[in-house]
Structure 1
């Protein structure tokens, strides 16, 4: 009996021991965390539910956590993803769903990549796919209307010309307003738009400040495509179509219209009615556009590659004008070991451009329809001889038989990058780039042409060579522990630029012999120059986040530039930023709001662009003009300024990111940017012996609000997504140094304290006197009490030049994109718009001149316009007077027009072949598409196109932009 009791006791003891062991032993659970696209997610919190036991996934998205029993539950959470609770299990695979796909976009910000959701800065991300809905070989034109606060304006339809980019308004007078471009982690670089993976646009100081002196106007970061391990992917894209010049509301008169108009003030020759030449149609054409791109990518666990080649050819809509570009890229990365990775990136671009002289565009507008372009035998007529009604006696068709203007260039960039993992927390990277750029242009004017006759044939050659060397060395510390995340970065960077050029000019060349050695003229000029500059930078940055709710960033930059005076060659800049993801707080439990984040930043940046490499130095020119005893001498040519220093921009930014119902994403930013120590070339009196001197003068403020909203309107079999972005910016001149209140006095847009920098200043057009048809302007007078009042005068010289309260800067800009998809069809329509700017239509001086020049063709009156013909007429145009002297077409608000417009920038329809069809051909994707660019524009502007370079706001004799229709095929296998 006693023995039996002992056995029962032993069994009970063993059961107790087993139970205690089960409750007190730990179990190791491992797993991986991915998003729905299969990408591994680092820095994800894995918490044993009901405890403070937390681990963080590593860079490979894996984790290991000790739990007390196998029935434990794990809470998986990460910034921007829906939290998920799962039961503990061995080798568990977890997939997280994003709260907002837009906020999961990866932004490259200052030497590292982060998700937008983690940033305290104002940034915009444009994917490569969204860029390629417009066909162009220039990234800038592809960005138009794609991001709030980024204004892209094109002053010409010439395919060899580029676009102007302005981010958050102009904050300088003389210096450059262009943003800084960063390609694949290094400042500068080249790329083909087809190779772009994404574009990140940095707008506030917390983001741009890391790039120091050249980031004052914003930063555009381009990341090119790279290979991924796995099966090789080959992709081919072919695009071809045609383009035509847009004419907007503008129409020129034909022979009958011009003859009837001239009869009201002049006695034109009736023989002119025998000819009706449309010079516009002779100058412009339906042009061809074609682009072919082939790429291959793939790799293994150790080596990845991306290789591409592109051919692009765009004929200008203007005859004898085209652009041809050949582009290749090779991006290769190889893991030499588990810790060391080497990357080699090569990009080369060879271009050939053919230019048409400006005279062709000029003649297209102004040549008379009375003049015939061809002789009886069909050859182009030489306008210098025989009957010719036009003022300039110029026939571009005759000149283009003999003359040419062309250029070619080769641009090569090579990057060698090393990334080394020193330890678990420390890494080192060195990014190095060499750039070689060669350029040559030739312009030949045959002695048989009007342009070459004076010099008996002339040839201009220009050759330049540029070399840039850059090294950027980066030490990084990263540590995630508990609810804390810390990243620290130190950077040392140096860039050196060397450039040289030589220009030659020779005369007396035989017909059709554009070679310098054939010159027989006495006039032969050779000039050249050499430029060198150095930039260096030291950077320290620290990032901290707590519990994926609170984010802080601080950075400090010291930069040196050889461009500035010996007293101020270097400058310090700093940046601060913070953000709070409120939606991760327990107290915010509002179901419609799936994400809410507040951001704030403050900091300084600098500007060193827009001045020469030797702007601060005292320079001498050696020439025969300063000769002594027949020997060339040296004379002062530039006054030194040893105190010349950086422009400085101080920017504050407040932003909010919010998502509703997982369907609507809204981003709003408000900013204030003050630019001080503006770089300015101040003219000096002639008695000083200098033209002027570069100085730091004055300050300008830009303020604005931007917003971007994306909504998923339908998400089932039929999908519809809308994106709208808008930006409002206002600028104001705060000060001008040297006790002045204005610079550029007398200009149409002087820079004056208290005014918009782009405000127009000119006589105010008061219309037409209905009694006699004479022009009227405003004249401001002051009474005895000091009050101003207005009278009207018919004397232009007596009219008062005044600020009119209208600006070349728009009140707001933006873009809207709608994407519809059903089955395998996708339709995308993208419109961009500009509102509230005033454009000075300078070209109306010539072809809307009220009879001043009877030898120029004239424009047809726009809708709503009328011409005075008898007493009592209420008209927009005065009575025409032959050779008039009352300056009705002089600079005034008469030619200042509303530049607002909305444009269908692109519409694109694509169709993807079903997998059941393409799998038989062993293809992975086949897409057909048709697209149209600039097919429709709504505007009241009377010229060919309201789009102008907004920082200037003038539209002169313009090469109009083109509308395009393109057809394409994309094949992947």
Structure 2
């Protein structure tokens, strides 16, 4: 009988105790085991150590080292070092690091590896987020622009839209104010709507809407053509901006601290107001001013504006394992406006968590909260310093003898017309606003099979807003009602769910992706407005009011959208690409007869450099042709535009009972504004150094949403209708070049875009949508073509203003003559041949690097638009407003003094000179400009200094924003709003009492642990 004992089994040990002779057997068996297993143990215990550095010799912290073909990996530490136990036989390691080319190394006999990584300069390998998925740049059939977060944050701002200025072709960003609490407007490929919003759709982390902070942005993708915007086609007529926030990556936990502090000063460009002596000499030409006025020389602009301080501090932590990754950040931003008592403060907290619950299920939880405080925002505080600082007279004193601000109402001999010293009012008055904006995403991705997956993306956004404006009884603004207080509160919620079924598979050279989506969105908004008067001095609390100015008001707004879509994406051998999609969407905003819209998109591309006939063309490393066509929609018209509405207010009361009256006419046929877009694109790379993207497009909008005025006899003021069509045609060019790639590096990005707009038709054969307006929106013209009396100069004989008038003779022939009678000129309004729309826009960035030093410069430019300088109506008025200050004329301007003078400015006369400052082309000016938007000089501290301090990276820098603007414009700033809200169309292309932009000098430090 033979017994076999397994090593270390009870039976085996018992055998030893009974039969010592068995020891010899044991030794023999052990030797056999060792002989058989030793090779495997040796293989499993092969330990490889090494160091990974970037191309500058800096340790690559968090680089991933993977044993080829196996799920065996390690990451580098703060010194770039790693250790990995090999499990296989290949001995090949793959080293990957973001921004650098992946590299494979074979482990030598020593088991020690030293790797230097090379930068990945090929933009074609970048993964770009588009629609509901992501693709490599080389595989796109559409027109998109991608701006990385680092490229965005050269300029210091808390407003992402403003940061996009000049960064992408065809994207025009403009701001009418330097108030830090105000926003900027954005146009993508020109304006295509009359009354509806022209703002693009914003998508954050895969869902429509959402909140974010610029410091947390990983990248911004701008979708411009139909193939790109396809899946958002129902609301993508104005383009789509996709914001992707930062996510954690597996490896060591990284802590980053970024801090910026700097100073802001207002920039007034070519605009200057007169001092007392200049104003006195000017007024002597048409008045007899009292010389005693010269005892004061108050510079009201200097008193109204200050040196502000900007702070931007962020701390973030990111990291995780192969299973769970996290990113958490907190940001504090405060910018003191250059206008006194004006400031913006914002606190932001973000938490992004992604975890694999199993091999098939991934959970993402994204939370973001923004708390904002605005002090005296100019859009709230109508009795602010801005208006008075421009108009106040230098003859009037700012302070009494005891140092207290003067009160223009009671100060003897006050010259200024408004009899107000804003410094007096600011002691007591205020306007403040607070908001809390929170969004939370709960997303699940489920891999049903290898090729089929399901995802549900869900978001809730909550927004609370409150503002209060107070005018003390001791001030001019509050004196009439013995103190006034205005309070408003609003709350909104947005619920969104997006459910997606996706199929991906490859069949040889055939690659197919199918997507089906069902999506719903519901919005709720409510607000309340209260006001009171008769408040005791210094008591800005509604409970102290003794009466009301008007009845309390408020309301509720709601809308909902439902969308279903399908998309097919196919490519053959990675060189022929086809994509097509169909979208059906319902909106509660439209009439009962047409609440739904159907939209389709298609695109194709061909990578020619993958063809055999291109293999010998060495100069061209990449060449791709793109084409797309499709329809998109616009629903941004307000929530109840199609309904017949009634108003209930005091004017309709009867016998003490409330009454109502019809206020908006019903239109059950109101439906989606639709746009057809065609795009032809060419992408090519030269010598592996230059990447060029060229796009030619045409987009035609039809069924334009328009607030059509109605005659008074109808009983309504207006009705919303679908009328007319508008066309935009354009050319976009983007060039990235790596000019020098040695020890001294120089990279350039240049973009330029041309757009031409034309109104093709309007309702019922009408020629203009807004007859009589300066921007009438006329058939055959650009939507922004100026229409007004034409200025003809100054009559040399008498100094009177001259305009053109149109005279029709008996034969119907029209001739142009001059007149000094404005009513005749006003009856002869003409198109000026100029437009508020630029002929082209763009930007250029140059980045230089040598050793640890870096320097970047960024210019943006606008060319070919005419701006109506409305401020000259007040400051260049030829004597009409003798109790307002006057601007210093340019050296090229001349004032008429005597018969025979050839002058640019009419004779100054008290009370004005024949309506010389009335609306005309006199005040249209060249709005072209070139602005040095940012210069940043940085220094990366040597790693040898940091290692002993356990610091991963450290960089210090100095930066300047808006350093200089080259322009001929005589106002404060040529940058004007080119895409205002539908309720503010009349201010498009106009520069008036502008809050000037700030020139900022900033100092910063970036430290990583």
Question: TM exceeds 0.5?
Answer: yes
1:392 to 414, 418, 429: 418
- What are the residue-to-residue correspondences of 1:79-94 with 2, within 5 Å? none
Match of 1:647 in 2: 673
- For 1:487 and 1:366, the matched residues in 2 are separated by 64
Could you say if the C-alpha distance between residues 228 and 84 of structure 1 is closer, same or farther in structure 2, counting changes exceeding 3 Å?
closer
1:802 to 805, 816, 830: 830
Could you say if the C-alpha distance between residues 164 and 710 of structure 1 is closer, same or farther in structure 2, counting changes exceeding 3 Å?
same
Match of 1:527 in 2: 553
Q: What do residues 881-933 of structure 1 show as CA deviations (whole Å, max 9, x unaligned)? A: 11125010110110000000000000000000011111111111000000000
Q: Which runs of 5+ in 2 are unaligned?
A: 1-53, 74-98, 109-114, 980-987
Q: Is the 8 A contact 1:673 1:701 kept in 2?
A: yes
SS in 1 for 2:613: coil
Q: What do residues 804-854 of structure 1 show as CA deviations (whole Å, max 9, x unaligned)? A: 110000000000000010010000000000000000001111111001111
Q: Is the 8 A contact 2:483 2:534 kept in 1?
A: yes
| TM superposition outliers: structure 1 runs of 4+ over 6 Å | 35-41, 80-87, 94-99
Q: Is the 8 A contact 1:206 1:575 kept in 2?
A: yes
- 1:447 maps to 2:473: yes
2:343 to 316, 319, 322: 322
Q: Is the 8 A contact 2:673 2:722 kept in 1?
A: yes
- For 1:271 and 1:421, the matched residues in 2 are separated by 86
Match of 1:69 in 2: none
- 1:240 maps to 2:261: yes
- 1:204 maps to 2:225: yes
- What are the residue-to-residue correspondences of 1:848-867 with 2, within 5 Å? 848-867=876-895
Q: Is the 8 A contact 2:907 2:913 kept in 1?
A: no
Q: Is the 8 A contact 1:298 1:305 kept in 2?
A: yes
- For 2:469 and 2:929, the matched residues in 1 are separated by 37
Q: Post-superposition shift, 1:782?
A: 3.5
- 1:255 maps to 2:276: yes
- What are the residue-to-residue correspondences of 1:428-577 with 2, within 5 Å? 428-521=454-547, 523=549, 525-577=551-603
1:685 to 711, 714, 717: 711
1:872 to 895, 900, 904: 900
- For 1:492 and 1:658, the matched residues in 2 are separated by 37
SS in 2 for 1:751: coil
Match of 2:629 in 1: 602
Q: What do residues 756-802 of structure 1 show as CA deviations (whole Å, max 9, x unaligned)? A: 11000011111111222111111122345544322111111111210
Q: What do residues 515-538 of structure 1 show as CA deviations (whole Å, max 9, x unaligned)? A: 111111254521000011101110
Q: Post-superposition shift, 1:247?
A: 0.7
Q: Post-superposition shift, 1:875?
A: 1.4
Q: Is the 8 A contact 1:118 1:551 kept in 2?
A: yes
Match of 1:159 in 2: 180
SS in 2 for 1:257: helix
Q: Is the 8 A contact 1:99 1:594 kept in 2?
A: no
2:720 to 667, 672, 694: 694
Q: Is the 8 A contact 2:800 2:913 kept in 1?
A: no
Q: Post-superposition shift, 1:726?
A: 0.2
Q: Is the 8 A contact 2:531 2:548 kept in 1?
A: no
- What are the residue-to-residue correspondences of 1:119-518 with 2, within 5 Å? 119-355=140-376, 357-358=381-382, 359-385=384-410, 386-518=412-544
2:962 to 921, 927, 934: 934
- For 1:493 and 1:885, the matched residues in 2 are separated by 63
- For 2:424 and 2:306, the matched residues in 1 are separated by 17
- For 1:547 and 1:418, the matched residues in 2 are separated by 32
- For 1:119 and 1:441, the matched residues in 2 are separated by 46
Q: Is the 8 A contact 1:100 1:659 kept in 2?
A: no
**How large is the Cα RMSD of the aligned pairs?**
2.5
SS in 2 for 1:829: strand
Q: Is the 8 A contact 1:104 1:116 kept in 2?
A: yes
Match of 2:995 in 1: 959
Could you say if the C-alpha distance between residues 318 and 230 of structure 1 is closer, same or farther in structure 2, counting changes exceeding 3 Å?
same
SS in 1 for 2:222: strand
Q: Post-superposition shift, 1:105?
A: 2.5
Q: Is the 8 A contact 2:879 2:913 kept in 1?
A: no
- 1:723 maps to 2:757: no
- What are the residue-to-residue correspondences of 1:813-828 with 2, within 5 Å? 813-828=841-856
Q: Post-superposition shift, 1:98?
A: 9.6
SS in 2 for 1:944: coil
What is the total number of aligned residue pairs between the two structures?
Answer: 904
1:775 to 782, 801, 805: 801
- For 1:872 and 1:530, the matched residues in 2 are separated by 66
Q: What do residues 319-369 of structure 1 show as CA deviations (whole Å, max 9, x unaligned)? A: 010000000000001111000010100000000001153441111111000
Q: What do residues 700-751 of structure 1 show as CA deviations (whole Å, max 9, x unaligned)? A: 0000000000111110000001110000000000000123111110000101
Could you say if the C-alpha distance between residues 522 and 132 of structure 1 is closer, same or farther in structure 2, counting changes exceeding 3 Å?
closer
Q: Is the 8 A contact 2:790 2:832 kept in 1?
A: yes
- What are the residue-to-residue correspondences of 1:614-693 with 2, within 5 Å? 614-693=640-719
* TM, length-normalised to structure 1: 0.90
- 1:811 maps to 2:839: yes
Q: Post-superposition shift, 1:863?
A: 3.5
Match of 1:51 in 2: none
Q: More deviation in 885-894 or 341-350?
A: 885-894
- For 1:957 and 1:350, the matched residues in 2 are separated by 29
Q: Is the 8 A contact 1:436 1:465 kept in 2?
A: yes
Q: Is the 8 A contact 1:99 1:595 kept in 2?
A: no
SS in 1 for 2:763: coil
Q: Post-superposition shift, 1:868?
A: 1.2
Q: Is the 8 A contact 1:506 1:525 kept in 2?
A: no
Match of 1:736 in 2: 762
Q: Is the 8 A contact 2:142 2:225 kept in 1?
A: yes
Q: Is the 8 A contact 1:284 1:319 kept in 2?
A: yes
SS in 2 for 1:894: helix
Match of 2:869 in 1: 841
Match of 2:929 in 1: 901
Could you say if the C-alpha distance between residues 283 and 808 of structure 1 is closer, same or farther in structure 2, counting changes exceeding 3 Å?
same
Q: What do residues 848-868 of structure 1 show as CA deviations (whole Å, max 9, x unaligned)? A: 100111101000002311111
Q: Is the 8 A contact 1:98 1:104 kept in 2?
A: no
- For 2:184 and 2:463, the matched residues in 1 are separated by 21
- What are the residue-to-residue correspondences of 1:108-127 with 2, within 5 Å? 108-127=129-148
- For 2:386 and 2:750, the matched residues in 1 are separated by 36
Q: What do residues 623-648 of structure 1 show as CA deviations (whole Å, max 9, x unaligned)? A: 23222332112211111100000100
* TM, length-normalised to structure 2: 0.87
Q: Is the 8 A contact 2:675 2:702 kept in 1?
A: yes
Q: Is the 8 A contact 1:279 1:364 kept in 2?
A: yes
- For 2:520 and 2:64, the matched residues in 1 are separated by 35
Q: What do residues 503-550 of structure 1 show as CA deviations (whole Å, max 9, x unaligned)? A: 001111111111111111254521000011101110100100001100
Q: Is the 8 A contact 2:250 2:325 kept in 1?
A: yes
Q: Is the 8 A contact 1:418 1:430 kept in 2?
A: yes
Q: Is the 8 A contact 1:447 1:457 kept in 2?
A: yes
Q: Is the 8 A contact 1:275 1:370 kept in 2?
A: yes
SS in 2 for 1:282: helix
Q: Is the 8 A contact 1:502 1:527 kept in 2?
A: yes
Q: More deviation in 249-258 or 794-803?
A: 794-803
Q: What do residues 164-218 of structure 1 show as CA deviations (whole Å, max 9, x unaligned)? A: 1010000000000111110000000111111000000000011112113321101
- For 1:273 and 1:387, the matched residues in 2 are separated by 13
- For 1:682 and 1:95, the matched residues in 2 are separated by 67
